[in-house]
């Protein structure tokens, strides 16, 4: 059984392995041992913190194979981005060049540096190991975060965003960044990506062009990847689209990957999940259901096949599933089809 839970201090070595495997472009999990330990510390303190509004909390989850005890994936939620460090994006929009005298009218795409998502809740750090990219593991790793947000909405903003990994090759070379590097930075993409991941963002404000960039002045290769995702990221963005996330023209300043957004109340899993009383018994049926308890530090979520009636007041869980979710008869479980 696959269980999603908050990260613990003894998960450090597993998180380090995931950071190694995730490769270039995975900014939120840099290969820096001190920083990874700080991320774990920050997550543990965030889950323990009593708060009624989003702040600098970061909630890091891991996916554990209950049969082996192996940690095989990770995902996270940042409660509110940009409160301490500037949170940059490019916004893709249009300007109109026209002349009635010459009868010329032309719409031109531009990229403008902005901080429009300051204060939004961010979904981040989603990674699943190769051998586990099957069944409902990816959906559990991603969608369980929505269950957590639903149960603790006071901790999160009304706007939820996700930055999707943009196009880069196996060496970490980004066509979008190559153009910026040539004209403004003199720094390769992996280096810039790493510096951002470890929190050294001052260089962005110092070196980024201050005025809007005309897209048609970029190289053809750079233009072609604006708003496009890395091949490995396609399943993730399709899942978010099915949840109601949309692309509104905001792209990453390094690789041009899209940022998608949704209002909390419009996210399908949050809208569709209901609470049920727990009964212990024999589970039957084959509908795949996402299950989560209502706890904070002891949050648990899993996916299990069962008979599911969203109109019922109770759900029958096997003792094994109830134990995995730290639930007993009479407790509340949140559930929705996956």
Q: Which residues are catalytic?
A: 230
**H helices, E strands: number in the chain:** 10, 15
> Nearest to residue 203, comparing CAs of 175, 220, 184?
184
Contact between 124 and 80 (Cβ < 8 Å): no
Terminal alpha carbon distance of the chain? 16
Helices marked H in the chain — which ranges?
Answer: 12-22, 33-48, 137-151, 175-180, 189-197, 202-207, 220-224, 234-243, 268-272, 319-324
Residues 6+ apart with CB under 8 A from 221: 175, 178, 179
Q: How far apart are CA 259 and CA 252, in angstroms?
A: 7
| Cα angle, residue 237 at apex, residues 235 and 243 outer, rounded to 5° | 105
Q: How far apart are CA 312 and CA 184, in angstroms?
A: 60
Q: How far apart are CA 215 and CA 230, in angstroms?
A: 20
Q: How far apart are CA 106 and CA 194, in angstroms?
A: 39
Residues 6+ apart with CB under 8 A from 256: 90, 166, 167, 174, 175, 176, 222, 225, 226, 227, 228
Total residues found in the chain within this entry = 338
Which H/E stretch holds residue 93?
strand 89-99
Q: How far apart are CA 152 and CA 296, in angstroms?
A: 8
């Amino acid at each position: 059984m696959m269980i999603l839970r908050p990260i613990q201090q003894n998960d450090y070595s597993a998180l380090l392995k995931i950071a190694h495997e995730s490769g270039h472009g995975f900014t939120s999990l840099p290969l820096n041992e001190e920083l990874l330990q700080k991320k774990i510390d920050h997550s543990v303190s965030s889950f323990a913190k009593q708060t009624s509004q989003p702040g600098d909390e970061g909630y890091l989850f891991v996916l554990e194979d209950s049969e082996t005890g192996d940690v095989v994936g990770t995902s996270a939620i940042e409660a509110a981005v940009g409160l301490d460090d500037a949170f940059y994006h490019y916004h893709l929009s249009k300007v109109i060049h026209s002349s009635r005298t010459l009868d010329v009218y032309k719409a031109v795409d531009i990229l403008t540096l902005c901080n429009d998502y300051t204060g939004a809740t961010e979904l981040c750090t989603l990674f699943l190991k190769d051998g586990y990219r099957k069944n409902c593991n990816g959906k559990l790793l991603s969608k369980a975060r929505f269950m957590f947000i639903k149960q603790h909405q006071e901790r999160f903003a009304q706007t939820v965003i996700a930055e999707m990994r943009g196009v880069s090759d196996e060496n970490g070379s980004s066509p979008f960044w190559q153009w910026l590097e040539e004209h403004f930075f003199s720094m390769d993409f992996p280096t810039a990506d790493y510096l951002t991941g470890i929190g050294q963002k001052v260089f962005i404000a110092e070196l980024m062009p201050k005025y809007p960039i005309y897209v048609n002045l970029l190289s053809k290769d750079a233009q072609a990847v604006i708003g496009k995702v890395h091949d490995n990221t396609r399943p993730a963005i399709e899942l978010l689209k099915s949840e109601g996330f949309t692309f509104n023209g905001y792209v990453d300043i390094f690789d041009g990957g899209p940022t998608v957004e949704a209002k909390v109340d419009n996210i399908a899993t949050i809208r569709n999940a209901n609470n049920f009383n727990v009964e212990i018994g024999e589970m039957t049926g084959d509908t795949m259901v996402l299950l989560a308890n209502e706890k904070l530090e002891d949050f648990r979520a899993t996916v299990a096949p069962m008979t599911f009636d969203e109109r019922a007041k109770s759900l029958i869980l096997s003792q094994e599933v109830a134990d995995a979710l730290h639930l007993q008869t009479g407790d509340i479980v949140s559930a929705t089809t996956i």
